[in-house]
């Protein structure tokens, strides 16, 4: 459809029409010292932009996250607007580039407000080389752009809502037309959902089901010796009741607030109120999050005390959680979904975990695909990082103040006090505040949650420059106790930075050695050298499955988290260092030289992670496994990458996956979302960068249950905790 054309499609179409109506714009001459081949690639009028300007701007923008391909698009887009002066041309170009940067950082629009603290002014300072070249002064560019808008002299590429133009100005916000379209469609779909009447199950049956699920047949947890009943608290009971009555339920809470308990309670109640197991759909944004959701639900259903027939059916017949792509039937070849507004999902109840990771496009696709009588439950932590792609859907949908004065409140066994809410979705949202991990017998877990909450609040309760008292500052790396939250500040490296190093780079050798010693060197040695046999169907024997799960569980205990992939503090450089350390370790304990060798840059026994989705093999970006020797039914032995798939293990030859695999000793915080580890280290960059925000730090810290090691300067930690991620999205505002 025409409305779904991308900006590149639009530009291509306009350029063909433009070429037919006017002569080709003159090519600039190559400037001395400039990148002439690069400059000549663009259709730039030399009277508006010199080749030197284009080359210098392109070189600078590459360091600011805007590729030359994007600059090329912006240059060609602005060239469509005729009759501009040189200043106006530059102003329009820089605003287009700023809007591209805002979108690449997850915003659906860019605010156009002016002033010293305005977003556009700050972004232009970031995008322009310093000192600012003559003719590119921000105080000249911003008024020029404002004049273009007020006099409607940028109408070839900038329009109003309803226009078919690449850029749209809507109430002081600059949208890319495609972003505005998806934002409006999502808001319309949510609005229709909110207008639907609540369902009205019999109150007596609801109360009876609650008593059975909570009091007569509770789920239980084990301390290793005894199983203890789990009683959902007042907030959790209200959340479960909202999911049964409201067409949309938004449930948000930090780690340990019992979101999995709520999911299992919803499923058990729904089954007792007549919902067929086959009419339930469970999903998460990523394969890792879906697998973790499956494991958590299975563990709770397995622990039900004196389970009834419906509990047994749920345990054995409940559809496995899927990624949202798989739930909607995504076709990578066609780039479309099988389920959409003209072919709805059959499910009557759709429960999605880790909803903070859902981007604008996926949420719109899900909302459009729901049946008119389906109920949607979104669970997540709104304080975590938003989605990698555009939007902050869960944050946008949550109200300022959730309501508890709901018609079904008094059905709870432990009802909350009735309080009014504020916001369009107030009666659809529940905010979980009580953590069930903060037990008196677990001081390490308490410390992690207290520090995470302090960071999430921007260290508001701490003295200026001070860290929460739960952070134990280490004088040396060997002093780490690997409990609670610890901070170690590495020494600065002298001299000029190397290839992987940042300015002011740091020495991480002591950290690498200590982390390897405490979290990697204890790997079961017989398991990494063992050859595992697969039958003709590709299945492992029960004993081999148990051993492989033990190997994967060992590596899943601990993980190093980083802000970026690049630089010496990024995941790529750290993975190379841990890979080298693991190679030395293998050679020391190998029984023969062959056992210490490497294949495809991987040592047998190493943890690995998928870099991209592989729909044919049912592997997804972020899936984690191990490399081991496998022997097939024909007797051939070769290295395989093995991954967990629910109750099964799947294995594929390492050679087939080598281009899609990376080591998994370290990963970015974004990649870690949906995962939980006993021990994590968060490695801060050597110098400040915009990615260092409280949302990122909060997300990293809350991945751990036992210990967090913060590697970096105390000053940078404070700077990051005070900085909020700036992501602009208008979905919430469109709902009213």
Residue 414 has pLDDT above 90, yes or no: yes
Pair 461, 362 in one domain: no
- When mean pLDDT is compared across 88-92, 96-100, 456-460, the lowest value belongs to 456-460
> Residue 531: inside a domain, yes or no?
yes
Q: Which residues pair with 699 in a beta bridge?
A: none
Determine the 3-state secondary structure of 540 from DSSP: strand
**Please, are residues 248 and 194 in contact by the beta-carbon 8 Å criterion?**
yes
Residue 649 has pLDDT above 60, yes or no: yes
Pair 236, 281 in one domain: yes
Phi, psi of 158 (to 5 degrees): -120, 125
Confidence at residue 114, expressed as pLDDT on a 0 to 100 scale: 66
- Structural domain span for residue 315: 202-221+230-432
Pair 517, 427 in one domain: no
Pair 414, 452 in one domain: no
Confidence label for 598 from pLDDT (cuts 50, 70 and 90): low
Confidence label for 27 from pLDDT (cuts 50, 70 and 90): very low
Confidence at residue 386, expressed as pLDDT on a 0 to 100 scale: 83
Residue 706 has pLDDT above 60, yes or no: yes
> Residue 254: inside a domain, yes or no?
yes
For 73-93, how does the pLDDT look when each residue is reduced to its tens digit (9 = 90+)?
999 999 999 999 999 999 999
Residues 6+ apart with CB under 8 A from 730: 108, 109, 173, 183, 187, 396
Question: How many CB atoms lie under 10 A from the CB of residue 614?
Answer: 17
Pair 357, 478 in one domain: no
Pair 391, 472 in one domain: no
Confidence label for 344 from pLDDT (cuts 50, 70 and 90): very high
> Residue 132: inside a domain, yes or no?
yes
> Residue 87: inside a domain, yes or no?
yes
Question: How many CB atoms lie under 10 A from the CB of residue 335?
Answer: 7
**Please, are residues 379 and 351 in contact by the beta-carbon 8 Å criterion?**
yes
Pair 369, 424 in one domain: yes
* CATH code of 381's domain: 3.40.50.300
Q: How many domains does the chain have?
A: 3
Residue 502 has pLDDT above 60, yes or no: no
Q: State mean pLDDT over 622-628.
A: 92
- Give the Cα-Cα-Cα angle 278, 267, 328 (nearest 5 degrees): 50
Task: Flag whether the pTM goes above 0.75.
Answer: yes
Q: Which DSSP symbol is given to 47?
A: T
Helices (H), 41-195: 51-62, 68-79, 86-104, 119-127, 138-150, 177-195
Query: Which among 432, 461, 478 is the end of a domain?
Result: 432
> Residue 24: inside a domain, yes or no?
no
**Joined tokens for residue 185:** 């469609």
Residue 406 has pLDDT above 50, yes or no: yes
Percent of the residues in the chain that have a pLDDT greater than 90, as a whole number: 64
Phi, psi of 474 (to 5 degrees): -95, 135
**Please, are residues 399 and 425 in contact by the beta-carbon 8 Å criterion?**
yes
- When mean pLDDT is compared across 24-28, 344-348, 511-515, 693-697, the lowest value belongs to 24-28
**What is the Cα–Cα distance from 700 to 672, expressed in whole angstroms?**
8
**Please, are residues 630 and 604 in contact by the beta-carbon 8 Å criterion?**
no
Phi, psi of 323 (to 5 degrees): -70, 155
Q: What is the mean pLDDT of the chain?
A: 87
Pair 483, 570 in one domain: yes
Residues 6+ apart with CB under 8 A from 222: 228, 303
Pairing of strands 349-352, 280-284: parallel
Beta strands in 536-636 (DSSP E): 558-562, 598-599, 602-603, 607-610, 624-631
* CATH code of 138's domain: 1.10.10
Q: At what angle do helices 86-104 and 119-127 cross, to 10 degrees?
A: 100
Q: At what angle do helices 51-62 and 68-79 cross, to 10 degrees?
A: 140
Pair 482, 422 in one domain: no
> Residue 7: inside a domain, yes or no?
no
Pair 544, 691 in one domain: yes
Most confident of 141-150, 629-638, 639-648: 141-150
Confidence at residue 75, expressed as pLDDT on a 0 to 100 scale: 92
> Residue 601: inside a domain, yes or no?
no
Residue 113 has pLDDT above 90, yes or no: no
For 506-535, how does the pLDDT look when each residue is reduced to its tens digit (9 = 90+)?
789 999 999 999 999 999 988 998 999 999
> Residue 186: inside a domain, yes or no?
no
Pair 482, 404 in one domain: no
Beta strands in 224-323 (DSSP E): 227-229, 248-253, 280-284, 322-323
Q: State mean pLDDT over 429-440.
A: 78
Confidence at residue 16, expressed as pLDDT on a 0 to 100 scale: 41
Pair 364, 290 in one domain: yes
């Amino acid at each position: 459809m025409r409305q779904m054309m991308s900006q590149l499609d639009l530009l291509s179409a306009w350029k063909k029409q433009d070429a037919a109506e006017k002569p080709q714009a003159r090519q600039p001459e190559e400037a001395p010292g400039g990148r002439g081949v690069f400059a000549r690639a663009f259709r730039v009028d030399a009277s508006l932009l010199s080749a030197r300007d284009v080359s210098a701007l392109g070189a600078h923008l590459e360091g600011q996250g805007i590729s030359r391909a994007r600059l090329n698009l912006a240059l060609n887009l602005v060239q469509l607007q005729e009759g501009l002066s040189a200043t106006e041309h530059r102003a329009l170009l820089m605003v287009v580039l700023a809007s591209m940067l805002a979108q690449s950082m997850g915003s659906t629009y860019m605010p156009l407000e002016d002033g010293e603290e305005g977003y556009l002014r700050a972004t232009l300072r970031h995008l322009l080389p310093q000192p600012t070249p003559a003719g590119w002064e921000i105080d000249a560019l911003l008024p020029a752009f404002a004049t273009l808008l007020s006099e409607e002299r940028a109408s070839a590429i900038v329009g109003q809502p309803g226009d078919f133009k690449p850029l749209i100005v809507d109430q002081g916000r600059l949208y890319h037309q495609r972003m505005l379209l998806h934002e409006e469609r999502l808001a319309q779909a949510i609005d229709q959902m909110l207008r639907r009447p609540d369902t009205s199950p019999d109150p007596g049956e609801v109360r009876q089901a609650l008593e059975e699920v909570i009091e007569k047949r509770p789920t239980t947890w084990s301390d290793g010796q005894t199983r203890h009943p789990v009683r959902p608290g007042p907030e959790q009971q209200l959340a479960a009741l909202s999911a049964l009555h409201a067409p949309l339920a938004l449930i948000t809470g930090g780690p340990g607030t019992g979101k999995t308990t709520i999911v299992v309670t919803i499923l058990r109640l729904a089954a007792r109120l007549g919902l067929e197991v086959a009419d339930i759909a469970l999903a998460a944004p990523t394969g890792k999050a879906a697998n973790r959701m499956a494991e958590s639900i299975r563990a709770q259903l397995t622990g039900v005390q004196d389970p009834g027939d419906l509990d047994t059916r749920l345990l054995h017949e409940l559809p496995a959680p899927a990624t949202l792509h798989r739930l909607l039937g995504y076709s990578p070849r066609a780039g479309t979904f099988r389920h959409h507004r003209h072919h709805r999902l059959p499910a009557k109840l759709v429960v999605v975990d880790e909803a903070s990771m859902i981007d604008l496009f996926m949420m719109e696709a899900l909302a459009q695909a729901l049946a008119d009588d389906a109920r949607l439950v979104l669970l997540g932590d709104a304080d975590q990082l938003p989605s990698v792609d555009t939007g902050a859907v869960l944050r946008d949908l949550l109200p300022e103040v959730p309501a508890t004065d709901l018609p079904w409140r008094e059905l709870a066994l432990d009802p909350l006090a009735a309080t009014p809410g504020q916001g369009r979705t107030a009666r659809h949202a529940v905010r979980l505040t009580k953590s069930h991990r903060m037990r008196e017998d677990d001081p390490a877990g308490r410390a992690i949650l207290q520090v995470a909450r302090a960071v999430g609040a921007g260290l508001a309760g701490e003295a200026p420059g001070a860290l929460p008292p739960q952070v134990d500052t280490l004088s040396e790396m060997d002093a780490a106790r690997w409990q609670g939250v610890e901070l170690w500040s590495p020494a600065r490296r002298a001299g000029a930075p190397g290839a992987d190093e940042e300015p002011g780079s740091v020495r991480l050798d002591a950290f690498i050695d200590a982390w390897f010693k405490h979290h990697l060197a204890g790997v079961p040695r017989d398991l990494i050298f063992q050859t595992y046999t697969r039958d003709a169907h590709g299945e492992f024997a029960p004993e081999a499955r148990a051993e492989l799960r033990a190997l994967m569980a060992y590596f899943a205990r601990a993980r190093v988290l980083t802000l970026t992939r690049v630089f010496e503090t990024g995941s790529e450089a750290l993975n190379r260092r841990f890979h080298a350390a693991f190679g030395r370790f293998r050679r020391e304990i190998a029984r023969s030289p062959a056992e210490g060798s490497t294949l495809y840059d991987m040592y047998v026994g190493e943890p690995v992670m998928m870099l991209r989705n592989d729909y044919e093999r049912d592997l997804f970006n972020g899936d984690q496994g191990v490399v081991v020797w496998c022997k097939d039914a024909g007797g051939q032995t070769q290295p395989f990458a093995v991954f967990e798939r629910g109750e099964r293990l799947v294995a594929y030859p390492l050679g087939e996956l080598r281009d899609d695999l990376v080591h998994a000793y370290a990963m970015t915080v974004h990649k870690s979302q949906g995962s939980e580890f006993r021990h994590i280290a968060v490695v801060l960059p050597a110098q400040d960068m915009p990615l260092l925000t409280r949302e990122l730090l909060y997300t990293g810290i809350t991945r751990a249950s036992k210990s967090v090691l913060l590697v970096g300067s105390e000053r940078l930690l404070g700077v990051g905790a005070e900085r909020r991620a700036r992501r602009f999205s208008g979905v919430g505002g469109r709902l009213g």
